[in-house]
Amino acid sequence: MYNLIGLVVLLPLIGAALNGLIGWRIKNEKIIGAFGSGVVGLSFFIAVLIFIEMLGRDAMNRMEIVEYFNWIVAGGLDTAFAYQVDQLSILMTLVVTGVGFLIHVYSIGYMHGDPGYWRYFSYLNLFIFAMLNLVLADNFLLLFLGWEGVGLCSYLLIGFWYTKKFTGDAAKKAFIVNRIGDFGFLIGLFLIFITFGTLKFEPVFLQASVMVLGEPVLFWITLMLFVGAVGKSAQIPLFVWLPDAMAGPTPVSALIHAATMVTAGVYMVARSATLYALAPLTLEIVAVIGLLTAVMAATIALTQNDIKKVLAYSTVSQLGYMFLALGVGAFWVGIFHVYTHAFFKALLFLGSGAVIHAMNHEQNIQKMGGLQKYLPKTYLTFLIGAIAIAGIPPLAGFFSKDEILAYVWHDGSVILWIFAALTAGLTAFYMFRLVSLTFWGNPRFKEHGEGAAHPHEAPATMTIPLIILAVLSIVGGWVGIPKALGGGLAIKEFLSPVFYHADRIMALPEHGVHSVDYILIVLSVVIAAAGIYLARTWYLRKPDVPNRIAKKYSGVYTVLNNKYYVDELYDAVIVNPTVKGSRRLLWRGFDVGIIDGIVNGLAKLIAVISKYGRKVQVGVVQGYAVAFVFGIVFILYWLIFR
């Protein structure tokens, strides 16, 4: 079955090509949607079969490289187009195709009536194709091809409604910010090739595993790779593109934020775990950047009123949590949170899409309220997603979040643990602020008369994916039940061969089951429950409290509401000076002054020469005779005296 991995990748490409080339001729949404969804569903089915075969093999012999052809052979670079099928890549493949399939099905109903329906499904399929290349690559170069592919597809999908200026601006912003990170990634690739002579994962990691801990070149390699991850996975200071990516269709937001693009950076760092294990200073930077991002994004989410913006900053915060796990050496935990996050974040985004669909494209939660009775299925599934991300047992988010907090504590990073736990409480608070203002309380929208809203439940194509994701948000974390609760950490055992070299280098102690683990679990749940209780109390029973706090601490509220003025800072320090400098130096100085000056100067020179040259052609015979005489005299002089 392993040899069928190429088909898993090829099917979405076929879907993208056919929908892109002939979809506009079909003009039948059912055929376009079914075909676009079907190819991804079939990819998921084949991936499941490969996964089942993998489980039947010995744990240390589950990795296989499937090579298709020699790709680039130039000088010392010899890279094949090959896929590496192992525990990490197959897990990511299942998440990408499984969650991606549900998002495709949801899109059939959500995008109904859109004139670019065929184009949308073509882009969506192409996105899945690029992401699969990224997670299945057996070398850094093919990974980078998929990396750039998802960047291109995100540009196309964020700017899908290109007739609206703000969508085009958001797409360009995402593309440009990611290019900044990709510059660092490329430097990392160059350093890897110079150091190891290859870009293939296995030879690089085998050579690195015998190197000295803290080798300077490994610090620079891992740091540059992390710069790429900071751009793709929206960490400080390159997180600004992700909230603006909400300009695209809501299913696109779910795809980008849940299972694909933004987790690419986490995957890449986890895949390079051996290199990072040998660069402790880089790991400290990863942990600090991750925690700062988690805290900053969570505090911003407290004051946002756009339903999708709240979820966007939630994603940025959760990505910070993943990098925190990677930074303390818990590579499998970072991937575990990627896995659980895919379920509940896709559920929350698709649920928000159902709300927006029901509210006639209204996204301001201050203009909602009381939607529980109008959208019972959406409400119940959204509530499950909110409980999962808040970290309440036995839902999926609890297990991955608890493992992150446990590893941070046992790493000896008490300060990191305090801020991570605080972020968990903030997550529970702003998520239930969102639930309270959207679904509970009294309606704050116009129910009767002209311009009244008529909220209604979404069609089955939208609610069925919500129900499936809700179930996965409940049971998905059970593969990581900690030993303190009687579990066996099945996902850790499954992924351990992938991180063998990294775990051996770092020699993380097995902290076992101690009373402190039970204390940490209880504290985690209490903090989350406190956040939920506080949100319900303030926004349902005492709605005047948030307003009083906002007025009392108006300075802090203004800073949070304006997202720490990061965009304004970038505009003032980078964007505006670049634009003004380009206009004055490049446009007026170089382009107009030099380029246009040369072109116009040549034209003037030719005009002057022509002015005097054309006097020879005046039609007077005597003038021609004089010219001939002078010509003959010159030739004779040249022949005699040269």
Question: pLDDT digit string (tens) for 450-500?
Answer: 556 778 898 999 999 999 999 999 999 999 998 878 787 899 999 999 999
The answer to whether 88 and 201 have CB atoms below 8 angstroms apart is no
Amino acid at 447: E
CA-to-CA distance for 235 and 227, rounded, in angstroms? 9
CA-to-CA distance for 398 and 438, rounded, in angstroms? 24
CA-to-CA distance for 299 and 320, rounded, in angstroms? 13
| Integer Rg of the chain from CA | 30
In this prediction, residue 434 carries a pLDDT of: 96
The answer to whether 424 and 527 have CB atoms below 8 angstroms apart is yes
The CA-atom distances, in angstroms, between 155 and each of 17, 22, 118, 250, 513 are: 18, 22, 17, 15, 47
Q: What is the dihedral of CA 324, 328, 332, 336, to 10 degrees?
A: -30
In this prediction, residue 616 carries a pLDDT of: 65
Amino acid at 505: I
The CA-atom distances, in angstroms, between 135 and each of 12, 128, 131, 363 are: 15, 11, 6, 34
The answer to whether 408 and 324 have CB atoms below 8 angstroms apart is yes
The answer to whether 135 and 211 have CB atoms below 8 angstroms apart is no
Dihedral sign computed on CA atoms, order 206, 207, 210, 216: negative
pLDDT, tens digit, 9 for 90 and up, residues 248-299: 899 998 988 776 789 999 999 999 999 999 999 999 999 999 999 999 999 9
Mean pLDDT, the chain cut into blocks of 10 residues (642 residues total) = 94 95 89 95 97 93 94 88 97 96 94 92 96 96 95 93 88 92 95 95 94 94 97 93 90 84 94 96 96 96 94 95 95 96 95 91 90 94 96 94 92 90 96 96 75 80 95 94 83 93 80 76 94 95 92 93 92 87 75 80 85 70 77 83 73
CA-to-CA distance for 142 and 148, rounded, in angstroms? 10
Q: What is the dihedral of CA 370, 373, 374, 379, to 10 degrees?
A: 80
The CA-atom distances, in angstroms, between 89 and each of 64, 134, 213, 416, 489 are: 11, 9, 27, 30, 19
Matching residue, tokens 């990396």: 147
Alpha-helical segments (H) within 364-459 = 376-390, 396-410, 414-439
Residue 562, both tokens: 């304006």
Residue 373, both tokens: 């009775």
Residues in Cβ contact with 63 at an 8 Å cutoff, skipping those fewer than 6 apart: 84, 85, 86, 87, 497, 498
Amino acid at 25: R
Q: What is the dihedral of CA 468, 469, 471, 475, to 10 degrees?
A: 130
For the chain, the residue count is 642
pTM: 0.91
Dihedral sign computed on CA atoms, order 521, 527, 531, 537: positive
CA-to-CA distance for 515 and 521, rounded, in angstroms? 10
What burial letters (b/e) apply to 595-623, b meaning 16+ CB within 10 Å? eeeeeeeeeeeeeeeeeeeeeeeeeeeee
CA-to-CA distance for 363 and 242, rounded, in angstroms? 17
What is the full DSSP assignment across 122-172?
HHHHHHHHHHHHHHHBSBHHHHHHHHHHHHHHHHHHHTSSTTSHHHHHHHH
CA-to-CA distance for 86 and 90, rounded, in angstroms? 6
Q: Could you give the angle at which helices 5-26 and 29-55 cross, rounded to 10 degrees?
A: 180
The CA-atom distances, in angstroms, between 385 and each of 133, 435, 461, 471 are: 29, 10, 19, 10
DSSP 391: T
Matching residue, tokens 């634009």: 579
In this prediction, residue 447 carries a pLDDT of: 67
